[in-house]
């Protein structure tokens, strides 16, 4: 395999360790340094694949500080891979800042295709996939309601990342502003042992999760306005 880039963006599994591509493994074995969001989490994955490489922490709280230093090393020819705790770096995870800086400096980058949670959640929702909007996490406090109101008339399928302890509140607020009969879907623990997708109206999903509670990692997909 030819390695033409300096910075590789490498998606990693979102639960099932087998969900890593052959090329991702080749790249992780070939680079000199792996930038990881949480070095402990990533070490487990790398050990599983017998990959021994220097890991450097690169996360939301140090990325601003580290960019210039990393760009300098990339310019000197150090080949690096960026991984996050799960899925594709840059998707609700660090990545954007170093990618933008590398592009500004004409440092060749490559992004491997691979796992990300929102694609299987969208597909399993049964909602239209021809046009969709990825909203990531809703703001927790400031700007939350105005964002929800702004999205109420969106015609494309909407995708949200959500934490389990905020799911009920989000479903309540969406039901209030989008209407209780709007179709939606919650995919939990994708690729893991307790994987579950539940499709129904916001009202039905609320009734279900009020009864069972919500556990694990989840993606909420909501139909666009008719
Ligand atoms: N970079 C990741 C990606 O490409 O999907 C997303 C990282 S973001 C910090 C974590 C969120 O992704 C979780 O709160 C959840 O909404 C979603 N997520 C990650 N893994 C998941 C899984 N196995 N099942 C359902 N949702 C998941």
Contacts 24+ apart (CB under 8 A), 16-23: 16/191, 16/192, 17/45, 17/48, 19/114, 19/115, 19/191, 20/45, 20/49, 20/114, 20/115, 21/112, 21/113, 21/114, 23/112
Q: Check pocket membership of 125 for ligand 1, CB cut-off 6 A.
A: no
Provide CB contacts within 8 A for 65, sequence distance 6+: none
- CATH superfamily to which 7-111 belongs: Tetrapyrrole methylase, N-terminal domain (3.40.1010.10)
From the CA of 106, how far away is ligand 1's center (Å)?
A: 30
Handedness of CA 112, 118, 124, 128 (dihedral sign): negative
Q: Check pocket membership of 217 for ligand 1, CB cut-off 6 A.
A: yes
Distance CA 51, CA 98 (A): 24
Ligand 1, atom nearest to 87 Cα: 4
**Same fold across 7-111 and 118-222:** no
CATH T-level assignment (fold) for domain 118-222 = 3.30.950
- What does the domain layout of the chain look like in residue ranges? 7-111, 118-222
Q: Check pocket membership of 161 for ligand 1, CB cut-off 6 A.
A: yes
Torsion of CA 148, 185, 20, 16, to 10 degrees: 120
Burial class of residue 70, CB neighbours in 10 A (0-12, 13-18, 19+) = buried
H helices of 76-199, in order, are 96-104, 118-125, 144-151, 167-178
- Nearest 5°: CA angle at 210, between 126 and 188? 40
pLDDT tens readout for residues 10-54? 999 999 999 999 999 999 999 999 999 999 999 999 999 999 999
Q: Check pocket membership of 162 for ligand 1, CB cut-off 6 A.
A: yes
Q: What is the pLDDT of residue 159?
A: 99
* Strand spans (E) along 75-119: 80-83, 109-111
From the CA of 83, how far away is ligand 1's center (Å)?
A: 14
Distance CA 27, CA 114 (A): 13
Per-residue pLDDT of the chain (226 residues; tens, 9 = 90+): 788 899 999 999 999 999 999 999 999 999 999 999 999 999 999 999 999 999 999 999 999 999 999 999 999 999 999 999 999 999 999 999 999 999 999 999 999 999 999 999 999 999 999 999 999 999 999 999 999 999 999 999 999 999 999 999 999 999 999 999 999 999 999 999 999 999 999 999 999 999 999 999 999 999 999 9
Q: Check pocket membership of 214 for ligand 1, CB cut-off 6 A.
A: no
Global pTM?
Answer: 0.97
């Amino acid at each position: 395999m030819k390695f033409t880039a300096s910075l590789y963006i490498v998606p990693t599994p979102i639960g099932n360790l087998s969900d890593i591509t052959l090329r991702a493994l080749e790249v992780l074995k070939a680079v000199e340094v792996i930038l990881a969001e949480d070095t402990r989490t990533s070490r487990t994955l790398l050990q599983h694949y017998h990959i021994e490489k220097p890991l450097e922490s690169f996360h939301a709280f140090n990325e601003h500080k580290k960019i210039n230093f990393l760009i300098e090393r990339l310019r000197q020819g150090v080949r690096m891979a960026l991984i996050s705790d799960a899925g594709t770096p840059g998707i609700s995870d660090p990545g954007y800042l170093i990618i933008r800086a590398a592009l500004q400096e004409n440092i060749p980058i490559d992004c491997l295709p691979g796992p990300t949670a929102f694609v299987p959640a969208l597909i399993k929702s049964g909602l239209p996939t021809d046009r969709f909007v990825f909203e990531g996490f809703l703001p927790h406090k400031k700007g939350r309601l105005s964002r929800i109101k702004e999205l109420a008339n969106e015609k494309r399928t909407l995708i949200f990342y959500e934490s389990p302890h905020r799911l009920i509140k989000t479903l309540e607020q969406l039901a209030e502003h989008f209407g209780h009969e709007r179709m939606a879907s919650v995919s939990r623990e994708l690729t893991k042992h307790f994987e579950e997708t539940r499709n129904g109206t916001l009202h039905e999903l609320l009734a279900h999760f009020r009864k069972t509670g919500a556990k694990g990692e989840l993606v909420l997909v909501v139909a666009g306005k008719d």
